[in-house]
């Protein structure tokens, strides 16, 4: 049975932990507002540039470009986006497990033959895959504390250079998409080669536009912009999702600490009452013994 001092010490310890989790929740909430604004601003641009590019590629059926070339897959690159810090629930493990499942189910032979490269954005994913002897070709920890568009464009430049030179034949990005504070969705997207999606808006397809200088020139200009915007959006989505997951996890930890403190306080009161009762019994028993003597 724990002594009163032990219970009191544990109550103090849990209260200290509760203060930390509450502070972390407030910090995550403050940063999340800015991250939400950034992703809300980035989504329309990313979506529209994809729509325009797909529209032009659906018109120009015979247009060819190295970034659009589908070829036999011999080498694969995975970009796995995780966080730099923990204490955000299952945020990181969801991405890591999704990437591992995809590698095991669809790309096992490439991994076994050393033809699968990993580009780990975020310390948690980097640490996980390094310990398990994956082929980590790119390590990018600590970028979310100073996240900039230049990093996204630099990573895309490195991947496109390898893709055009035939060093890799497919690039897949795995990350968490921000849905709400309490919901994140793990997403798998093919970055390279670029695949236009089918248009659903028939009015847009039927419309006639005048292109200057020409359709091919516009497509050539849009392709790198499309890749940069997709990578930048994935990083912003992941960062906002991380903050939402951490805010939720710290809120739950704070509530759990509150409940634990309440239970410990009840245990402390019961033990204290039992101690007082025992002392009273001992005093009464001693007094009776003296009277009888």
> 3-state DSSP call for residue 16?
helix
How far, in Å, are 44, 46, 80, 106, 132 from residue 195 at the CA level?
A: 19, 15, 20, 19, 32
> 3-state DSSP call for residue 27?
helix
Element (H, E) at 184: strand 183-192
- The yes-or-no answer on residue 88 being catalytic is yes
CA 39 to chain centre: 14
CA 154 to chain centre: 20
| Residue 263 φ/ψ, nearest 5 degrees | -65, -40
> 3-state DSSP call for residue 133?
coil
- Bridge partners, 185 (sequence order): 177
State the pairing for strand pair 170-180/136-140.
unpaired
Cβ pair 136, 118 in contact under 8 A: yes
Cβ pair 4, 269 in contact under 8 A: no
Task: Tell me how far apart the alpha carbons of residues 184 and 95 are, in angstroms, rounded to a whole number.
Answer: 10
Concatenating the DSSP letter of every residue in 207-264 gives: -----SS-HHHHHHHHHHHHHHHHHHHHHHHHHHHHHHHHHHHHHHHHHHHHHHHHHH
Per annotation, catalytic residue among 28, 88, 116, 121: 88
Dmax (CA) of the chain = 117
> 3-state DSSP call for residue 76?
strand
The residues carrying an active-site annotation are 88
């Amino acid at each position: 049975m724990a002594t009163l001092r032990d219970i009191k010490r544990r109550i103090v310890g849990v209260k200290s932990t509760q203060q930390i989790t509450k502070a972390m929740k407030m910090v995550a909430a403050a940063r999340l507002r800015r991250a939400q604004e950034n992703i809300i601003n980035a989504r329309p641009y990313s979506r529209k540039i994809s729509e325009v590019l797909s529209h032009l590629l659906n018109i120009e059926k015979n247009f060819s470009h190295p970034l659009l070339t589908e070829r036999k897959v011999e080498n694969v690159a995975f970009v796995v986006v995780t966080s730099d810090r923990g204490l955000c629930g299952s945020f990181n493990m969801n991405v890591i497990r999704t990437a591992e499942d995809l590698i095991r189910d669809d790309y096992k032979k490439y991994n076994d033959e050393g033809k699968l490269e990993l580009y780990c954005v975020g310390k948690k994913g980097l640490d996980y895959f390094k310990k398990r002897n994956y082929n980590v070709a790119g390590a990018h920890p600590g970028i979310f504390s100073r996240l900039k568009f230049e990093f996204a464009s630099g990573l895309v430049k490195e991947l496109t250079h390898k893709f055009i030179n035939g060093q890799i034949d497919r690039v897949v990005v795995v990350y968490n998409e921000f849905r709400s504070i309490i919901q994140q969705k793990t997403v798998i997207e093919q970055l390279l080669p670029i695949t236009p999606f089918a248009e659903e808006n028939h009015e847009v397809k039927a419309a006639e536009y005048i292109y200057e200088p020409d359709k091919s020139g516009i497509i050539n200009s849009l392709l790198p912009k499309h890749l940069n915007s997709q990578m930048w959006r994935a990083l912003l989505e992941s960062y906002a999702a991380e903050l939402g997951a951490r805010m939720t996890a710290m809120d739950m930890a704070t509530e759990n600490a509150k409940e634990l403190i309440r239970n410990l306080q009840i245990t402390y009161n019961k033990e204290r009452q039992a101690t007082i009762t025992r002392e009273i019994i001992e005093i009464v028993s001693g007094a009776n013994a003296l009277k009888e003597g």
